[in-house]
Amino acid sequence: MDFKNLVETTVYKTLKSLKPFDLKTGLTSQRIIDASIPAGGRLFYNWATMPIGSEHLELLAQLAEEQQLVDKYQALVSGAIMNTGERRMVLHHLTRGNLLLGNQTVIADGEDKLAFYQEQLHRIEAFSKAVRDGNITGSTGKQIKTVVQIGIGGSDLGPRALYQALKGWCVHKNIDILEARFISNVDPDDPTDILTGLDFETTLFILVSKSGTTQETLTNQKFVLKAMRAQNIDGFNPASHVIAVTSKTSPLAKSNAVLDSFYIDDYIGGRYSSTSAVGAVVLSLAFGFDTFKRLLSGAHEADVNALEKDICKNAALLDALIGVYLRNVLQLPCTAVLPYAQALSRFPAHLQQLDMESNGKRVNRDGKLLNYPTGPVIFGEPGTNGQHSFYQHLHQGTDTIPIQFIGFLDSQRQNDVVTDGSTSQEKLIANLIAQIVAFACGKIDDNPNKQFPGNRYSSLLYAKRLTPETLGALLAHFENKVMFQGFIWNVNSFDQEGVQLGKTLAGKILSGGNSDEVLKAYIELFSRLK
């Protein structure tokens, strides 16, 4: 497989020579309709208000072909070593279905990985049903009503975002819900807050750590155990209230301190793990396995869509290519993700990790310094709250910040009110459409303070309603977009060495700073507050 730096491609200079498409003069009703393509799971991607014309599309298609982007994706799902830094395969797609032809599969560590992931799903299905039906109870015989996930990074951000996103849909469908809470921060105020008022007899804790040695997670485990013992509940056994999601070889796998263990492996990175046992256990307990299975189905549809060679039929690939044009040709360093759905309030936080931990890299796959920008800074907040916060900068600031809007025709809970002739949901969609057009077209005014420059670029991911299938497709769309961009930039999107240095230094500090005078100085700084 041929990996090359972006600036070495034959079409890069030609792309740089093209002027951006002028939205103020070129945005037409026909363009808006024609610029929508399916993204799987009844989700659609619309790029009408991106600075892309027909010439740009032709060149982006050439870039995709020259960089062999779909071929690299096919190699990845076939088990090629794509995580070059750690010499590992990348198999998160396999957790939601096989993309290989015929009876092909991926073998690693002497086992069929598809069979391994499916086995874990079957175990999770059986366990979650037994808990929800009351056949597995707490140690004092009471039925489980609350689940608390203890993890950090990908063990927290993705599952937490998906739980928030699905809760309203499940309420409307009258699905019995076990409340889910999440502890992630080693700051003791986090577990203290989550554990306040919790009935330990009806709570099941999910300890998520692939290695079984994650410092923050194990510290919070001890915090929970201390709180359990402080209750002095007759007949209460802490081990009956803790399960683990970990690797087969970790200390947690066969620990007597947990009721059961469900397995993940090194071929699924934390930020890509929401469709593995990391997300499956908590979401299946909270909403039932059938709901999680529907999410997997939508993700698989998006994964299949990403195999399309035609960039105008491949939503994730086109989104990735346009993003590279924005980042490298137009030199725009940020992207805002703005969901017009309160259920997606934690989704931008998940995408921050997914994108910035994956493609925030300064060397290529061979370890050589790059001479062009890679992944953008990602931030976001749900609309319409964001309109009254940072949209001022987006509209009239000195920087152009591209936007990815997300919107749905119908609300999840189907509970609304009519005021001034329209429902709340209609007002929400009206605001979404208004913002897209305002950013693209701007406004001329004699008063400079009231002028809007326009040509502020955005895309739109949209569907009729936020369902499990649509959510799965949305999740996979962004995962595949990040993957394709990593291929284009020739970076390893599947390691995260940037988090390691801080961990090492924190260990030194906790042991007194050793001989590092700078660390000792900061220890002294805080010691003076005692």
Domain assignments of the chain as residue spans, ordered by start = 6-96+307-495, 107-290, 496-530
Nearest to 435 by CA among 400, 384, 471, 397: 384
| Rounded Cα gap, residues 285 and 104, in angstroms | 32
Phi, psi values for residue 263, rounded to 5°: -110, 145
Residue tagged active-site, from 19, 388, 517, 530: 388
| Rounded Cα gap, residues 436 and 433, in angstroms | 5
H or E, element range at 297: helix 289-305
56: annotated active-site residue: no
How many Å from the N-terminal Cα to the C-terminal Cα in the chain? 58
Radius of gyration (C-alpha) of the chain in whole angstroms: 24
Q: What is the pLDDT of residue 366?
A: 93
Alpha-helical regions (H) of 452-515: 468-489, 500-510
313: annotated active-site residue: no
Asked whether the beta carbons of 457 and 402 are under 8 A apart, the reply is: yes
Give burial (CB, 10 Å; 0-12/13-18/19+) of 507: exposed
| Rounded Cα gap, residues 100 and 434, in angstroms | 43
357: annotated active-site residue: yes
pTM above 0.75, yes or no: yes
Q: What is the pLDDT of residue 498?
A: 87
Nearest to 221 by CA among 277, 134, 276, 148: 148
Residue tagged active-site, from 173, 222, 450, 503: 503
CATH of domain 6-96+307-495: 3.40.50.10490
| Rounded Cα gap, residues 337 and 512, in angstroms | 41
Residue with tokens 């699924």: 268
pLDDT averaged over 10-residue windows placed end to end, the chain, 530 residues: 91 96 98 98 97 98 98 97 95 96 87 97 98 98 98 97 98 98 97 97 97 91 96 97 96 93 97 98 98 98 98 98 98 98 98 98 96 98 96 98 98 96 98 98 97 98 98 98 98 92 86 83 91
| Rounded Cα gap, residues 310 and 316, in angstroms | 11
Same fold for the domain at 6-96+307-495 and the one at 107-290? yes
10 Å Cβ neighbour count for 274? 31
Residue tagged active-site, from 201, 216, 301, 357: 357
**Looking at the domain 107-290, which fold is it?**
Rossmann fold (3.40.50)
